[in-house]
């Protein structure tokens, strides 16, 4: 009989962790050798398993697998690249910032800040993609969105295309679109503050 639970602790250096059954109950020891192909090791990873015992009669999880999708539902879609038209956004933004700086409407630190934030965001996506593949601790989605809001969205667009990451989750994509709009509004306010904001 198979049971369902989630990984609540994983010690990668020692090669073992613990599974908590769904609905609560005694946590079960699980060795890395018991994990099936493609099973992640990150905390919170859902799994199914069979109950067994070690040589001393202590309970442990065996034959650990990823949960099967519910009958009638398709398995999770693989990450796909966003529309290639999005690739024009980063160079357009770079050209806009360069033009505004050349006209004297922007201080030099603004384009530099966008470049630094984009580089940091690109690296954050790469780290999160690698964590998703290895089962390591993931980067919170809120962190990725905040980096984009801080000016790193051009780097996020490039990372989504390069790593095929964060491209299929509709809720994330919707928030990401709002983040870009908010960032551009902030840039517009920086260029032309509303009346009464000036000292």
DSSP 8-state symbol, 42: S
Rounded Cα gap, residues 138 and 132, in angstroms: 7
pLDDT in tens, 83-115: 555 667 777 877 888 888 888 878 888 888 999
What integer is the mean pLDDT of 138-157?
A: 92
Q: Would the pLDDT of 140 be above 80?
A: yes
What integer is the mean pLDDT of 75-88?
A: 54
pLDDT in tens, 15-31: 899 999 987 778 899 99
Range with the poorest average pLDDT among 82-91, 112-121, 140-149:
82-91
Structural domains in the chain, CATH included, are 2-65 (2.40.50.140), 84-191 (no CATH)
Q: Would the pLDDT of 195 be above 60?
A: no
pLDDT of the residue at 80: 47
∠ CA 158-130-83, rounded to 5°: 30
User: Which of the two residues, 193 and 187, has the higher pLDDT score?
Assistant: 187
Contact (Cβ atoms closer than 8 angstroms) between residue 151 and residue 117: yes
Mean of per-residue pLDDT scores for the chain: 82
What integer is the mean pLDDT of 44-49?
A: 90
pLDDT of the residue at 102: 86
pLDDT of the residue at 118: 93
pLDDT grade for 72, boundaries at 50, 70 and 90: very low
Q: Would the pLDDT of 78 be above 50?
A: no
pLDDT of the residue at 75: 43
pLDDT of the residue at 189: 80
């Amino acid at each position: 009989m198979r049971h369902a639970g989630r990984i609540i602790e994983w010690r990668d250096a020692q090669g073992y962790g613990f599974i908590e059954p769904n609905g609560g109950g005694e946590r079960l020891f699980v060795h890395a050798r018991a994990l099936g192909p493609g099973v992640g090791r990150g905390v919170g990873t859902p799994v199914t398993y069979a109950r067994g015992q070690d040589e001393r009669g202590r309970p442990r999880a065996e034959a650990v697998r990823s949960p099967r999708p519910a009958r009638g539902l398709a398995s999770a879609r693989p990450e796909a690249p966003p529309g290639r038209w999005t690739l024009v956004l980063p160079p357009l933004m770079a050209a806009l910032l360069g033009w505004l700086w050349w006209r004297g409407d922007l201080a030099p630190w603004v384009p530099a800040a966008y470049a630094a934030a984009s580089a940091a965001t690109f690296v954050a996506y790469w780290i999160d993609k690698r964590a998703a593949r290895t089962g390591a601790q993931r980067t919170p989605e809120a962190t990725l969105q905040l980096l984009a809001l801080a000016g790193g969205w051009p780097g996020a667009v490039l990372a989504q295309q390069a790593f095929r990451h964060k491209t299929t989750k509709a809720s994330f994509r919707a928030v990401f679109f709002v983040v870009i709009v908010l960032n551009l509004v902030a840039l517009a306010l920086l260029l032309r503050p509303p009346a009464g904001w000036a000292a």
